[in-house]
């Protein structure tokens, strides 16, 4: 999702999205309940095997899991101070396994697949909710994240180029204005591309 998808044709890629999501929640719950360090090691090994099966190379995997390790560098010693190293280590292990599982989901599932999953979930409620529209809304929201990020970066750059520093408001105003223009233009493109169909 949001460009994190790592293309492939492994069994994990091909597992239906909703089933994958279900397995993910079961997996995360089970990991949260594990009480013995050796059980966690087994879980860690299992996750590693899943990554190998999915054919995810170390780099994209690291991009997903790496950031959590930074948090742990601070959190683990802190918790060790209060609860001892074993508990701190267990917490860290659970977190890493849970994040790795969630990352595996995003790395092997396209946005389209997630949307189709949503639509299937919402199907029973079709009388009240247009699942297609909801899916589109989610996709557009995801699409807007990099767009707004880009606008913020450009506005910051323009400020630096003119040597202006300023309040948060002075940053927010051009960002909001430009985002609205972009939204207007994307809306027009949506209509042109048959949103109304």
Q: Which residues of the chain form contacts with other proteins (CB under 8 A)?
A: 1-3, 5, 7, 110-112, 132, 139-140, 142-143, 146-147, 150, 182, 185-186, 188-194, 196-197
**Alpha-carbon distance values, 63 to 10, 28, 38, 44, 58 (Å):** 20, 20, 26, 18, 9
Shortest Å distance, C-beta 97 to other proteins: 27
Q: What is the DSSP letter of 109?
A: -
Q: Which is nearer to other proteins, 10 or 110 (CB)?
A: 110
Q: Which is nearer to other proteins, 163 or 197 (CB)?
A: 197
Helix axes 131-161, 111-122, angle to 10 degrees: 140
Shortest Å distance, C-beta 83 to other proteins: 41
Shortest Å distance, C-beta 107 to other proteins: 11
Shortest Å distance, C-beta 113 to other proteins: 10
Pair 60, 106: CB distance under 8 Å: no
CA 185/CA 59 separation, integer angstroms: 36
**Alpha-carbon distance values, 167 to 95, 148, 151, 173 (Å):** 37, 19, 17, 10
Pinpoint the alpha helices (H) of the chain: 11-14, 17-33, 37-54, 58-83, 85-108, 111-122, 131-161, 168-192
Shortest Å distance, C-beta 6 to other proteins: 8
Q: Which is nearer to other proteins, 91 or 152 (CB)?
A: 152
Please, what is the Cα angle at 89 between 87 and 93, to 5 degrees? 115
Shortest Å distance, C-beta 146 to other proteins: 4
């Amino acid at each position: 999702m949001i460009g994190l998808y790592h293309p492939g044709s492994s069994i994990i890629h091909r597992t239906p999205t909703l089933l994958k999501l279900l397995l993910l929640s079961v997996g995360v719950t089970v990991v949260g309940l594990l009480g013995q360090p050796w059980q966690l090691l087994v879980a860690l090994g299992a996750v590693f095997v899943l990554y190998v099966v999915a054919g995810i190379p170390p780099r994209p995997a690291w991009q997903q899991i790496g950031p959590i390790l930074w948090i742990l560098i601070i959190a683990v010693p802190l918790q060790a101070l209060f609860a001892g190293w074993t508990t701190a280590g267990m917490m860290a292990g659970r977190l890493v396994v849970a994040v790795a599982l969630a990352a595996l989901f995003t790395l092997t599932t396209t946005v389209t697949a997630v949307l189709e999953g949503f639509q299937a979930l919402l199907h029973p409620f079709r009388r009240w909710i247009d699942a297609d529209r909801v899916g589109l809304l989610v996709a557009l929201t995801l699409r807007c994240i990099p767009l707004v990020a880009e606008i913020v970066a450009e506005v910051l750059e323009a400020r630096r180029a003119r040597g202006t520093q300023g309040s948060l408001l002075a940053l927010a105003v051009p960002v909001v204005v430009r985002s609205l223009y972009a939204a207007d233009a994307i809306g027009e493109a949506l209509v042109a591309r048959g949103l109304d169909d």
